[in-house]
Structure 1
């Protein structure tokens, strides 16, 4: 197996087809490890020196560590691409070559240890490949809990959502459906033709939701909006994006922005018009997302990091992401 070091945006773009194919062979990988997410992130932010490592066996990409070196005045850190805006970050390792490719990737990371003072693997989900990589040569690791990431485990095909959603929330969901049922309403999935418009609704409504609390919200940053606008077409084309808008009497009252892979769905952002609070757009959209994930056969609905009360109202329970910190000896 040979190792390639990628140091420019052009390198990442050139790698994209092989990266997408590898991502497709790793069923446990979250959308945040896909090229559709991480290449736009690097294009918009590029906060350091790119130091991504690719492991090849012949013409097949069998492992990838999307990394960069933070070049600020403080500690030189080796960090994952996507940090700050991503959850469930990980390296990608082809399951058919897991042991050999993982070993080779760990060796490659260890070989760069003079370039950094700490490699910090952030927001790794339980069971993430990066947590189980062999110790890089000349290094030592420590592990710690990182963030609470509530998860709703979904029932199998022989059961119903009533088995996992608490009765109080089921009643609130039914009440919201009854209230909106008196109006002309629909939830629609975005399409390539409506994507730009739907993202605009998401940005506007997310801002309105946070402004009603006297806060700005993550989308107040123009670069963050630019990133999502750049990433969304590729995510949609890859079948990863779940962007829905709720219209009530012709007005967009809410928007939901999440992702899905076989086996799991991920709730990322949302927003609603405070003028429609009586109809509970947030409940309607999250309920729709959970129901859609269950109907698609997902085993888990990931609410991602943050301990907001509404997540637990749906029956989610905390699962903690982990941080692996690696330092040269």
Structure 2
């Protein structure tokens, strides 16, 4: 099994960046891949938010990249903790594995993780139900604990936008009618979809709207950290180039009232972040905009709309149902003199 496969540990991020063309090809082949496993997401994450050492397992078969487990490791008082890159701004973590090679590659990753010396505790956190990482055997010499992580509500979508009202709860249908009526009384409505020329400007409006909304509640919001903002700015061009990015701006009488930031990939829509101006709270612009986004997603062929992590009530108001991420934590249970010498 192992003869045609090679597995190496990449610790130089420039080497990982140079792997991007092969990485993209593997990502496109993987039926379970989400935008969060793409180079467009993880390389900007590393450049802006990493706080450790790269320890990426790259599996090749006949010189072709067929598996990628992009770990990083942090040194703490209790030892060396390894996670998959993207924490904590990533909603779905997983390995990338080429189709029909899952079994041998997962076996190789398990064996290699037992052998490498860069970790004492390995956390596979926020792993979706269909993830490869859930099917990997426990590395030899380790034990594992498993638990539920975050709820990620999911809305099953109809075949056409005209059918959307039929699947929405009656309360949401009434709320949408009310919101549209109030917007109409306030002024003219316009929704703009970002393109290459407008993506940065719409993102900056989203940052401002998000900050304004959360500051009005006396809270910082998830974009308060300038590093997080820069991470997203750096990710935008490649996300747009890969046709993954979905950015929308809703204006009322020409004034920015709400913005949406999400993704679309393989008949799946992902709603990552929204922001709105509290001055338009009475009109519920985020509700109107999200209806537009969901309808556009259906037009693009989306079968599901992923609201991502968190059990905020508004998600269930659309009729979404919980899907739970999982967490697996591996601990080494035997350390011999050879391991100690190697780790030193």
In the alignment, structure 1 residue 200 sits paired with structure 2 residue 204: yes
In the alignment, the residues of structure 1 paired with residue 150 and residue 238 of structure 2 have an alpha-carbon distance, to the nearest angstrom, of: 28
The CA deviation at 1:35 is 0.7
- TM-score, structure 1 normalization: 0.95
Q: Which of 212, 235, 239 is matched with 1:235 structurally?
A: 239
Partners of 1:99 and 1:21 lie apart in 2 by: 20
Hey, what does 1:165 align to over in structure 2?
168
Quick check: 1:18 aligned with 2:22? yes
* Counterpart position of 2:329: 325
**CA displacement at 1:68 relative to structure 2:** 0.7
Matches of 2:113 and 2:166, distance apart in 1: 45
Q: Which residue of 1 aligns with 2:115?
A: 111
Structure 1: gaps of 5 or more residues: none
SS at match of 1:87: coil
Q: Do the aligned partners of 1:9 and 1:43 also contact (CA within 8 Å) in 2?
A: no
Match of 1:128 in 2: 131
Superposition misfits of 4+ residues, deviation over 6 angstroms = none
Alpha-carbon deviation of 1:280?
Answer: 1.2
Q: Contact 1:121 / 1:130 at 8 angstroms: preserved in 2?
A: yes
CA contact (8 A) 2:56 2:68 kept: yes
CA contact (8 A) 2:155 2:318 kept: yes
Aligned to 2:266, which of 252, 257, 262?
262
Indicate yes or no: 2:303 matched with 1:299.
Answer: yes
> What is aligned with 1:153?
156
- SS of 2:236's partner is helix
Further displaced range: 151-160 or 103-112: 151-160
Residues 1:3 and 2:4 are matched in the alignment: no
Structure 2 CA distance for aligned equivalents of residues 74 and 250 of structure 1:
55
Distance 2:161 2:313 in 1: 29
Change (3 A) 1:98 1:159: farther
Compare CA radii of gyration and give the structure with the larger one: 2
Counterpart for residue 91 of structure 1: 95
Indicate if the aligned counterparts of 1:240 and 1:260 stay in contact, CA closer than 8 A: yes
Please state if 1:174 is matched with 2:165: no
1:287 to 265, 287, 291: 291
Partner in structure 1 of residue 256 of structure 2: 252
Secondary structure in structure 2 of the residue aligned to 1:160: helix
Cα distance, 1:7 vs structure 2: 0.7
Asked whether 1:49 is paired with 2:53, we answer yes
- For 1:146 and 1:159, the matched residues in 2 are separated by 35
TM-superposed deviation, 1:74: 3.5
Structure 2 gaps of 5+ residues are 334-344
Provide the C-alpha distance between the structure 1 equivalents of 2:112 and 2:31, rounded to a whole number of angstroms. 24
| Deviation of the 1:111 alpha carbon | 1.6
Instruction: Report deviation, 1:60.
Output: 1.5
- Which sits farther off after the overlay, 33-42 or 286-295? 286-295
> Is residue 55–residue 118 contact of structure 2 (8 Å, CA) maintained in 1?
no
**Count of residue pairs brought into register by the alignment:** 328
Between 1:153-162 and 1:40-49, the stretch displaced more is: 153-162
Q: Tell me the secondary structure at the aligned position of residue 101 of structure 2.
A: helix
Using the TM superposition, give the Cα deviation of residue 184 of structure 1 relative to its aligned residue in structure 2, in angstroms.
2.1
Aligned counterpart, 1:219: 223
> Hey, what does 1:69 align to over in structure 2?
73
| 1:32-43 superposed matches below 5 A | 32-43=36-47
